[in-house]
Every structure is written in C-alpha cells, then in structure tokens.
Amino acid sequence: MNDFHDDTKKSEDSVCDNTLFRKAMQDVIPLSTPNHKEFNNRRVVAVPRKRKPNIEHDGDDIFSDSPSVSIESGDDWSFARPGVSQQTLRRLRRGYWPIQDNLDLHGFTRDTARQQLATFLMECIERQLRCVRVIHGKGLSSPNRESILKKQVGHWLAQHPSVMAFYQAKPSDGGSGAILVLLRINK
C-alpha cells in the first residue's frame, strides 16, 4: 500500500509542478524568429599551424618523421587540409580526377623514399598535375608484415603545402598499398 500511496503522491507533485510552470509562463510571448544560428553536427578537429617547408629546397629535409597532423586511419584512411570540403574528398575517392602520374616506392628505405617523394611532388607541381598516385606498398615483405612506409608517406604528404587531400586508392588502383593525392594547382 505504501507503493500505491507513493505513486499517487508523485503524480500529484508532477501535476502541481505543471500547473505552476504554466502559470509562470502564461504571459510569455514566443520570439518570431530564432535568436540563434543552426549548426550542423560536424566534428571539428583543431590542427596546429606549422611553418611552411621550403619547397625550393632539393627535397632532402622538407619532411619530418614525427607525426604532427591527425590522419584518419582505418580501412579507408584519408587526409584533407582545413578548408577542403568533404565533397572534394569524396570526388577524389571516386576517381573524379584522372591519375596523371605515379610514384612507386616499393623497396626503398625510409630516407630514400622521403627524397623520392619530395622530388616527385616538386616535379608534379611544376607540371601542374592535379591528381597523382603514390604506391607505398602493403608491407607484405616487411617484418611483422606491416607497411612501414604507409604511415610515413601519409605524414609526409600532410606536411606538404601543395597537398590538398589524399585518400586510399580503390582496389583497382592499388587499394591499401597506394594513395591518391590531390594537388593544388597554381594559376
């Protein structure tokens, strides 16, 4: 019986609260237009500003090995510079831009791969190429069968100021062993 009495008391309290609330709000007039701005629920990630590397350099030292930029990882890993739209990243993934040149880094050491990538990007920028493929390999012949160059290439590309975005290649273009890179074209 106490349970019945407690439930009745709770319902009387809520009726009383509703009555008090309605009485307090009876003179309130709703605003004709909302006084707030609607925002979409996109997650915003802060990216620290870095000084731009000297691209005119011969390519030996423009990339750091320490990761300083967040790259989405997983099966389809990607990167987009702040200000690059998700639509642009989707277009890159779907092959909107034809692949205009390739760099194959199979068998290179980390230092040689870094130099090759810097030189390749400099040449692509001079030639005004928009979309290129960098093949880093899947790491099948590496110790523990993990791709050492994959992460390094991603971090190096994210540091380059002319790289707008990159996305893991489709299976027909190399899959998890390659990256499609979207470059900024200087007009």
CA 127 to mean position of chain CA atoms? 26
How many Å apart are CA 4 and CA 130, to the nearest integer?
74
Residue 93 CB burial class (10 angstroms; 0-12, 13-18, ≥19)? middle
Task: Output the pLDDT for position 25.
Answer: 84
Task: Output the pLDDT for position 67.
Answer: 46
Task: Output the pLDDT for position 118.
Answer: 93
Task: Output the pLDDT for position 6.
Answer: 55
Digit-coded pLDDT (tens) for 98-110: 999 999 998 888 8
Task: Output the pLDDT for position 107.
Answer: 82
Stretches where the chain sits below pLDDT 50 are 39, 41-61, 64, 67-73
Burial string for 71-89 (b: 16+ CB within 10 Å, else e) reads: eeeeeebbbbbeebeeebb
Residues 6+ apart with CB under 8 A from 76: 93, 167, 168
Q: Class of the 1-187 domain?
A: alpha beta
